[in-house]
Structure 1
Amino acid sequence: MEPIELWKQFLPVELRAHAPYLAQAVVEGTLDERVRRYGPKALFPISPVLMLDGKPVWHDLSQRAQVEMSWSSYERRAQIVAVARPEGQLEAMDRTGVEVAFLYPTLSLYLLGVDSLEANLGAAFARAYNDWLRGYCSRNPARLQGVGLLSTHDPVSMADEVERVAGFGWRAVVVLPNPVKGRRGLSDPAYEPVWAACERLSMAVAVHAGTHSRLPTSGADRFESHFALHACAHPMEQMMAFLALTEGGVLERHPQLRVAFLEAGCGWLLYWLYRLDEVEYVHHGGEVAETVKRKPSEYFRRQCFVSIEPDEPYLPAVVAHLGAENLLFGTDFPHGDHSDDIVEEALGLVKVLPEAVVRKILWDNPARFYGL
């Protein structure tokens, strides 16, 4: 949960006028009216709105969603305050038995979800965040591992930033899956130098979607509620990201590239791989024969990973059909999407899965993905 103050400190002086900031949310009606409409959660102040150049970063975020999300933040306020300091993050890891944490952006990922963002500013946001995170992780680099943020607004600078954060000793980078500036998602030829650099440097690539972004996003053309947009954005964007990397030949050209699709569970995977293998590849594969030279599931098994939720009821079926080699566990701490006992839930998977499989999910596979 990076602090809003980092931008004034780490952006280049000439770009600090574009530093994002938090503004008081505009509330609808009187307090009594809001309580009647939304219930007692409306008694608590609505969280500030992330702003960029005078405009909200989040798109289609209703007042009801703001109330619910503000309540979630209020419930986790102690954790959110604690992890502002690396010592607080380490204390939380100690309490839950987490040995190593790979840290992903929150506000910074939203900032890069604005299609109108100028390429140089997007690249500067990524560099500033990475510089701040490097200092945060320096408290204990062995246990606090940075994941470098890349801005897909500026393909020219992305490979250089991969090189730079690899020099920090980091082992992974994170990108949004959405199309940017009219480019064809992650398979666009403009990104080819990035994938080559990641493969050469053995840098893992994490694909992480977001909700309410100002980029073309699954479901945004037909839904407005956070309920629906969140349901669509995460799994559907991951499905299309894997398809783009497969159909566009990225996985074929870069067989050592490791890619993970995060925060969407693993349930979509069985259906999607079946669909791509047995319908598209079998009946329509000739059209893409130059870039897709094997079944999509073979690419996935060879070099891709997906994060699981420990309470997914079909997890044993995924293990049975796909195996356990490509599954990862993450807590998403301290976000409100998961319960406080998520680590205990993950450890409890030994009730439904063999202990060796649980060990792969909790340690062996993440270690292999991140190159520990």
Structure 2
Amino acid sequence: MTTQVIARKIDVDTHFYPPVDYKALREYLPQGLMAQAQDMLVRDARRALEPERVAAETSGTVPPTRPQVDPHRDADARAAAMDQTGFDMQVLIPDALFANLYGASPSGQDLSLPIRIALCKLYNDAVADAERRYPDRFIGPVNIPFDDLEASILESRRAVRELGLRAILVPGNWMGHNFDSLELYPFWEALNELDVTVFVHHIPQGCRGRTSIDHPPRYPMIGMERMRRLHIGTYLGFGLEYTVACAALALGGVLDEFPNLRFCFFEAGASWMPYAMYGADRSFEIEPQCARTTTLPSELIKKHCLTAVEPAEHLEQLVAVLGSENFFFGTDYPHPEFQRYHNTAAAILDRPGLSETDKANILGNNIARFLKLE
């Protein structure tokens, strides 16, 4: 077997929180609104984006200071700091408020749809600008208000066709429904036509998540009511959510109906994927009358799905079972996982049980194939 060369090492999971240009935000709000209504929406956005600063201004205290150069928020600083992690490129996943535009803000304020659409556009403009200035460094996914499918389709088309972005970001379910819901077919059809990759990055719902009947999460995690106390929603719940997602995509016929769709699953490791394949195949073989496909689900999942691996996993065993062509690697910069595991490219390069081909696949070749990078 010929050893593969890593064309570029790609960190597929880094989080980015660009500053907001409130003038540009206002321009993306519905222009038919009265000036007072636009002012109100901008104020709501600022409260969600800068809660500490707004609170300080309201109380007359000193606003918190920010670092002048912050790689979390500044593309120039990020590009300069990248070499320390051993990667050539990074995918810029939205962070803080931008990571919750399909749901509610971290402060618990459920922003109205016009604000969320405008903020999605601002984020997409920001990552597209980072890509333009650093084409060999950054890859930006499209942020969308997923609860509104019409708005999501329109923004996906704008961001892909006008801005040149290559992936669409969605949570792990659609309003608590599976990905084979027929209501989603127009959305999948649009993405199939755009020939883009779907990044599935679910929303953490921890011990103190909003679960009251008045303010339920827009995308409730499967089994959330039983996982809150131990804070295992993110660490087990993401994998359970993705297991159901893969079953719905494969057994539910979505991957047959829309063959250009490619899915990448984030922050759950890869240990769930063999079980997802096994469970879906078992359902297919024992209860074939319930399937909307005539193809073995594990074959569809292997063809259409990638998932992130984590250094703490038994990667060698996973590769022995599935091969290495369904995996990618992300550090989760600058979140606790990045800090806890000191994630760098060396976490994969230094694994003695992986072949050079396996390392090349995981560190860049697989995701480059899915994103159709030249």
TM-score by length of 2: 0.76
Q: Deviations over 1:163-220 (max 9, x none)?
A: 111121211111012332x6x3322223222222222222111101111262321232
Pairing 1:284–2:287 present: yes
Q: Deviations over 1:8-30 (max 9, x none)?
A: 64253533233123435xxxxxx
* 8 Å contact from structure 2 (residues 331, 343) kept in 1: no
SS at structure 2 position matched to 1:186 = coil
* 8 Å contact from structure 1 (residues 310, 342) kept in 2: no
Which has the bigger relative contact order, CA under 8 A and spacing at least 6?
A: 2
Name the aligned partner's letter for residue 319 of structure 1.
V
* 8 Å contact from structure 1 (residues 331, 342) kept in 2: yes
Q: Deviations over 1:117-146 (max 9, x none)?
A: 554444333222212322333331332111
Distance 2:321 2:54 in 1: 44
1:98 alignment counterpart:
87
Report how far residue 347 of structure 1 moved. Answer: 1.2
Name the aligned partner's letter for residue 321 of structure 1.
V
Pairing 1:187–2:180 present: yes
Distance 1:317 1:111 in 2: 37
* 8 Å contact from structure 2 (residues 267, 308) kept in 1: yes
1:178 alignment counterpart:
173
Pairing 1:330–2:330 present: yes
Distance 2:198 2:81 in 1: 26
Alignment counterpart, residue 199 of structure 2, candidates 206, 224, 241 = 206
Q: Deviations over 1:324-353 (max 9, x none)?
A: 11111112222221233432111112x011
SS at structure 2 position matched to 1:187 = coil
1:354 alignment counterpart:
355
Report how far residue 268 of structure 1 moved. Answer: 0.8
1:253 alignment counterpart:
257
2:321 alignment counterpart:
321
Name the aligned partner's letter for residue 196 of structure 1.
E
- In structure 2, stretches of 5+ residues that fail to align are 1-15, 30-37, 56-65, 210-216
1:340 alignment counterpart:
342
* 8 Å contact from structure 2 (residues 128, 140) kept in 1: yes
Report how far residue 225 of structure 1 moved. Answer: 4.0
Distance 1:121 1:163 in 2: 19
* 8 Å contact from structure 1 (residues 166, 201) kept in 2: yes
The structure-2 alpha-carbon separation of the partners of 1:111 and 1:273, relative to structure 1 and needing over 3 Å to count, comes to same
Structure with the higher fraction of residues in helix conformation: 1
Name the aligned partner's letter for residue 16 of structure 1.
V
Distance 1:247 1:369 in 2: 21
Alignment counterpart, residue 236 of structure 1, candidates 214, 234, 240 = 240
The structure-2 alpha-carbon separation of the partners of 1:17 and 1:185, relative to structure 1 and needing over 3 Å to count, comes to farther
Report how far residue 271 of structure 1 moved. Answer: 1.6
- In structure 1, stretches of 5+ residues that fail to align are 25-47, 51-76
TM-score by length of 1: 0.77
Distance 1:236 1:6 in 2: 38
Distance 2:239 2:302 in 1: 19
Distance 2:179 2:155 in 1: 17
Distance 1:7 1:284 in 2: 54
* 8 Å contact from structure 1 (residues 101, 143) kept in 2: yes
Distance 2:123 2:361 in 1: 31
Alignment counterpart, residue 129 of structure 1, candidates 123, 140, 153 = 123
SS at structure 1 position matched to 2:306 = strand
What percentage of residue pairs aligned between the two structures are identical?
29
Report how far residue 354 of structure 1 moved. Answer: 1.0
2:58 alignment counterpart:
none
Distance 1:316 1:142 in 2: 30
* 8 Å contact from structure 2 (residues 93, 140) kept in 1: yes
